[in-house]
Amino acid sequence: MVQNHYTVFKHDKKARLGILRLERGSIRTPAFMPVGTGATVKAMKVEDIYALGADVILGNTYHLMLRPGTDTIKAHGGMHHFMQWKKPILTDSGGYQVFSLAKIRTIKEEGVYFQSHIDGSKHLLSPEKSMQVQHALNSDIQMVLDECITASTSRDNIAQSTELSLRWARRSKDAFYQDGKHLLFGIVQGGLEEDIRRYCTEALMDINFDGYAIGGLSVGEDQHDMLRIVDAVCTRVDSTKPRYLMGVGTPQDIILSVQLGVDMFDCVMPSRAGRHGLAFCKNGKVNLRNSVYKNDTRPLDETSDCPIANTYSRSYLHHLIKSKEILASMLLTQINLHYYQSLMSDIRQAIFRNEYDTFVKMTLQRLNANAAI
């Protein structure tokens, strides 16, 4: 029997307030994980990530096995020592990156044969290999290998792919190093087909994982379809285990998914947007590339408790972006990740007060009324 490390201590309808206890620290949920794909959250120092209040970050098997290589990280004792991050780390299995980045890939029963997007070298990523690499990375939460498919895949192919992902999930668990300190999450697939999603959820629960992720969303479907699938999975999955919506997303998506019972999120959006001049603020997004901010001496967001957002002027940030200064990426990434962590804190407080529905209504009204300019 898998030991349950997760405790839900408060409900506000479907929204949940919980804590996931791990050897390297506890994760307060609902939680947002900054993405540190290659053992770094781009443009951020580890000390600054700590200061944001993040409880966990995400790393990626595909990227790290290719560069710098498993042996290099293993020589440091794992990813934590390699990058000097002392709190929990979740590693994605690498399946999505093979799907999206590999130059050439061939999916077979044994795994995925692919060529590296870096140097064209040939590799096999199997469930066993993914578990081997994640064990060497010494991540606290590890993910099973699954097959990623496009949103336009036919129902028959979705069903076949889901069966393959389930077989890989069983092999992943068999290869997982179970010591009570590291957790393994299953991944629910099934496209936009609710019945296949429910079937996959139940099959994964029969295997019995420490948590359950919802994969294959945020790939071009509209928000209504995404939330429909999220609800279908959350109403069926084991309520005593954490639920992780992979690769999502916008503040609006996060707020509405929490309302359906999701506990964990990750997305490159806040850091990627920062590197492209887009800032997330309490009253919506601000596109600082826009020339309207050239002489705008107001702080970016004077209502924020982020020391960068409430100090640096829009004009200065606009200047840094236009000048292609590295500092622009650093400041805006920190502003955006601060916003996301503050959003999660506000979400947790609203659930604790039994005011989540009101929080959702008011926050969405404010965000939707202030589109980026």
| HEC per residue, the chain | CCCCCEEEEEEECCEEEEEEEECCEEEEECEEECECCCCCCCCCCHHHHHHHCCCCEEEEHHHHHHCCCHHHHHHCCCHHHHHCCCCCEEEECCHHHHHHHCCCEEEECCEEEEECCCCCCEEEECHHHHHHHHHHHCCCEEECCCCCCCCCCCHHHHHHHHHHHHHHHHHHHHHCCCCCCCEEEEEECCCCCHHHHHHHHHHHHHHCCCEEEECCCCCCCCHHHHHHHHHHHHCCCCCCCCEEECCCCCHHHHHHHHHCCCCEEECCHHHHHHHCCEEEECCEEEECCCHHHCCCCCECCCCCCCCCCCCCEHHHHHHHHHCCCHHHHHHHHHHHHHHHHHHHHHHHHHHHCCCHHHHHHHHHHHHHCCCCC
Q: Distance between CA atoms of 42 and 57, rounded to whole angstroms?
A: 12
Helix axes 251-259, 356-368, angle to 10 degrees: 160
Q: Distance between CA atoms of 96 and 37, rounded to whole angstroms?
A: 12
Cis peptide before 68 (omega within 30 of 0): yes
Token representation of residue 332: 């805006």
Q: Distance between CA atoms of 279 and 232, rounded to whole angstroms?
A: 33
Q: Active-site positions?
A: 92, 266
Nearest to 229 by CA among 205, 250, 213: 213
Q: Distance between CA atoms of 315 and 164, rounded to whole angstroms?
A: 53
